[in-house]
Amino acid sequence: MVHLEPRPAPHRPAGPVDPDWWRGAAIYQIYPRSFQDSNNDGIGDLAGIIHRLEHVAKLGVDAIWISPFFRSPMLDFGYDVSDYRDVDPMFGSLGDFDALIDRAHGLGLKVLIDLVMSHTSDQHPWFKESRSSRDNARADWYVWADAKPDGSPPNNWLSIFGGSAWEWDGERMQYYLHNFLTQQPDLNFHCAAVQEEMLRISRYWLDRGVDGFRLDTVNFYFHDRQLRDNPPLAPEDRNENTAPAVNPYNFQDHLYDKTQPENIGFLRRLRAVMDDYPGTTSVGEVGESQRGTQVQAEYTAGDDLLHMCYDFDFLSNVYPSGGQVAQVLERYMRIVTEGWACWAYSNHDVVRHTTRWGLGDAAARAYAGLLMSIRGSVCLYQGEELGLGEAYVAYEDLQDPYGKRFWPKFKGRDGCRTPMPWSADAAHGGFTEAHPWLPVAMEHLGHAVSKQERDPGSMLQFYRAMLGFRQAHAALRKGGMTIVAAKDDAISFVRDHDGEEVFCAFNLSDKPQDVALPDGDWTIDRGAPFRVEETAGGLRLPAWQAVFALRRTDET
């Protein structure tokens, strides 16, 4: 495969670059297969993203994160990479990617790409060479181990996609490690050459103009050299942050197959590369159910590691009551004293949050406002701004191997990956004129962009207004945070930055609640897309509403 050399980074600002833009940024995740199809093959592509970028820019976010578009057999839909330096033909070409960068930067949007470093496809030339013998140039680029004397795998490690994390290879006569599909062999980061190549790949895309990386499974890069067994995990300590309950992966305490101390050194090397490109950023996905917050603290400590970590607490099935939200935030602020969080409710791997938590329209708005008011950056998943729920996908239409493996108790990830509904009146919601790779959910057509654009009270208009309100207040984007009160059906806190304080209170229930402002000279800001009533006794929040009040602390 011939790769085009990266062009000089397009549309880089000529003046000073704000190195801190990512702190408090709103990032919009695009799943390219399902965003917009431009050539009517039923699969979204880079040209389709370009066509719809104005929608994203008008939303008021700061950046986009594009899920993988590299060459791939697509067994895990791009997370099984066979060529890190090229675009898969189903998504377009490198020229299309360059045009996407140009267009995004022209609209004021930063571009983050999803870099999958922990594993490749088994169709990658590296793996084909590695498995060919035990003494070739890339023999140690993957994690190989001999069988036990009885022929069984080297240890008890499990795959997130079910079964053993080891697969026997009859050509090399050894097992290889795969934390995900058997067709996704794990790279061996204990090999110096692997680290060097991954750093070169990072530079390749930075030279092409990307503004940073979302780092897939960032804590999976290294494994325990001694291949020690993971200990069992007590049933009461199991949770579903990394894998669904039906998967025995949750039965282990994953001490040795991931999150190894050597990872810190590699992350420092990666940050050093990124520091050569001012204004770039990194978001690490930490898949760690037992020690996730502590790992985030370690990975974001100081200014020479990751910029932020992608938190899983609000991606779980646990309903985010006011008390639960306060508990998560207080734990994070107590443990992660130097780092910065990136919060999300939905993404391409979990049931959409409106369905997961059973939220109606009013509740979804309240929780969206809460997400955009807490301390940290935020990720919004495509369609979230439309209020989309999880789509039903019949078994015969399933594409996700994860869902096929554990059906029907776990239906996989296809329900959150169905195509975006752009037009209520067009075939397949305006996503494509061909048969789409996943069916467009009929229930989503009523939420189509075309309908919500015309409705001033729509969810789309709410998201635009709330993102604009967040953008107008530096305290909401970059400030500190102090929780004032929290209970199951309400939470309030103060955000503060550079002499500005914003008091935020949320009624997380279907009944009106009274709320008291903290002591001091506060002014209610009615620019937020919520309603508050003033009564003789103070303030009253109708069901699922919020209030924001301001004061300056630097005025005499």
Active site members: 216, 288
Distance of CA 447 to the CA centre of its chain: 23
Residue 86 burial (CB count, 10 A) = 18
The C-alpha atoms of residue 165 and residue 178 are separated, in whole angstroms, by 5
Structural contact between residues 169 and 131, judged by C-beta atoms closer than 8 angstroms? yes
The C-alpha atoms of residue 369 and residue 320 are separated, in whole angstroms, by 13
Which DSSP symbol is given to 210? Answer: -
Residue 460 dihedral angles phi and psi, to the nearest 5°: -60, -45
Smallest Cα–Cα separation from 33: which of 351, 310, 393, 400? 400
Pairing relation of β-strands 26-30 and 63-66? parallel
Residue 408: is the preceding peptide bond cis (ω within 30°)?
yes
Q: What angle do CA 102, 62, 46 make, to 5 degrees?
A: 40
Structural contact between residues 504 and 541, judged by C-beta atoms closer than 8 angstroms? no
Structure tokens at 308: 């932020």
Structural contact between residues 357 and 364, judged by C-beta atoms closer than 8 angstroms? no
Residue 128 dihedral angles phi and psi, to the nearest 5°: -60, -40
Structure tokens at 375: 């301390």
C-alpha gyration radius of the chain: 24
Structure tokens at 162: 């079910």
Structure tokens at 188: 């061996």
Residue 337 burial (CB count, 10 A) = 10
Q: How many residues comprise the chain? A: 556
User: CA-CA distances (angstroms) from residue 6 to 68, 96, 114, 275, 387?
Assistant: 18, 13, 18, 19, 38
Token pair 């039903």 in the structure block, residue: 392
User: CA-CA distances (angstroms) from residue 42 to 175, 211, 437?
Assistant: 38, 29, 5
Smallest Cα–Cα separation from 518: which of 481, 491, 484? 484
Smallest Cα–Cα separation from 287: which of 274, 276, 296, 278? 296
Element at 493 (helix H, strand E): strand 490-497
